[in-house]
Amino acid sequence: MILNKIKMIDGLINVRDIDDSIIIDLRYATENNFLNKKIYDIPVCVLQLNTALKLSKANSFAKDLGYRLKVLDAYRPLSVQKIMWDIIKNEDFVAPYWRGSNHNRGAAVDVTLTFENGDEILMPSDYDEFSERASINYKDAPTIAIENRELLSMIMIKAGFLRIESEWWHFNDSEYEKYGLYDISLEKFI
């Protein structure tokens, strides 16, 4: 990887430029999401360079254990945060656009784990299932699902991320405060 050859805008880069072994399935670039609406024009996974390097490290840890990381969301332009907020308007599930989300900084990722063949492992809830089952404290799920949730958390924390209480799939870069909120279109990164 030659870092000075990578296209970078405000510290943000295309994750594919540093690691092509991470599975990327940006759900908001499809209709397979809680809005049933495609709100990203193109499926480009963008993060702050240092956040992307941490994610790559997490993917290596996962591979050492026989798994792979699958990214469900990464950098989200601020104007898309407003679209989401206008539909949901519930701070438990969507950060208000005037405060911004760590996704708008390119310093948060939504991830799960897959087996080596790419099949997702069982978790206590679906992605973006906004219920008590999404909480990292939810205990009334099959033991294997709880173990899988904790394995994902162990991998991400070891790589430099922090978890949040309400969503098992969401991880903030521990250094998210270094970054601003951006409204750069995903197309700029291809």
Ligand X SMILES: C[C@@H](N)C(=O)N[C@H](C)C(=O)O
The closest alpha carbon to 60, from 47, 51, 50, 69, belongs to: 69
φ/ψ (deg, to 5) at 13: -140, 165
54 binds, among Zn ion, ligand X, none (CB under 5 to 8 A by kind): none
- The answer to whether 170 is annotated as binding is yes
Nearer to Zn ion, 56 or 101 (CB): 101
Determine if 17 is a binding residue for Zn ion (CB under 5 A). Answer: no
Residue of 17, 19, 25, 110 that binds Zn ion (CB under 5 A)? 110
Q: For the CB of residue 50, give the shortest distance to ligand X in the complex, in Å.
A: 19
105 binds, among ligand X, Zn ion, none (CB under 5 to 8 A by kind): none
Q: Is 167 tagged catalytic?
A: yes
User: Are the C-beta atoms of residues 169 and 72 closer than 8 Å to each other?
Assistant: yes
Inter-CA distances, 147 with 91, 121, 138, 141, 190, Å: 28, 11, 12, 10, 37
User: Are the C-beta atoms of residues 115 and 189 closer than 8 Å to each other?
Assistant: no
User: Could you list the residues that contact ligand X (CB under 6 A)?
Assistant: 73, 93-95, 101, 103, 110, 128
Nearer to Zn ion, 27 or 170 (CB): 170
User: Are the C-beta atoms of residues 186 and 93 closer than 8 Å to each other?
Assistant: no
Residue 131 structure tokens: 């219920």
Active-site residue, selected from the candidate residues 129, 167, 175, 177 = 167
User: Are the C-beta atoms of residues 15 and 47 closer than 8 Å to each other?
Assistant: yes
CA pair distance 162, 160, nearest whole angstrom:
7
Total residues contacting Zn ion by CB under 5 A comes to: 2
Residue 45 structure tokens: 């996974």
Here's the x/- map for Zn ion, 153-172, by CB under 5 A: it reads as -----------------x--
Nearer to ligand X, 68 or 103 (CB): 103
Q: For the CB of residue 100, give the shortest distance to ligand X in the complex, in Å.
A: 8
Binding positions: 103, 110, 170
Show which residues are catalytic.
167
